[in-house]
Amino acid sequence: MGKQVHLNLKIESAIVVVTAVCLFLTFYFSMLSLQMVDDALKGQLVILAVLSLLTAIIIFGCLIIYIGIRQVFVRVESRKSEKPAENE
């Protein structure tokens, strides 16, 4: 059980780090686009910023779903372990 909890924390930490990197890239690309003179390059940087933001939102949504599903399984497991103790 200890390894499972440790693995869950690693997964959550990795997802949070990837989300933070995507958000950083969003701000970085948007700042670069404000400094560009060429319109074509400015448009590409804006597209990269939007895609980075969408990626961060999707990955964060997956984290929320993962935590929700894990909480449901923890509740089901705790109920299963409590029921045999009540019958005895």
Q: pLDDT at position 6, please?
A: 67
pLDDT at 3: 63
The pTM of the full predicted model, rounded to 2 decimals, is 0.75
Contacts of 60 (CB under 8 A, 6+ apart): 15, 19
Q: What is the mean pLDDT of the chain?
A: 86
pLDDT, tens digit (0-9, with 9 covering 90-100), for 12-33: 888 899 999 999 999 999 999 9
Of 27, 83, 32, 33, the residue nearest 56 (C-alpha) = 27
- Delimit the domains of the chain by residue range: 2-87
**pLDDT in the model for residue 67:** 87
Low-confidence stretches of the chain (pLDDT < 50) are none
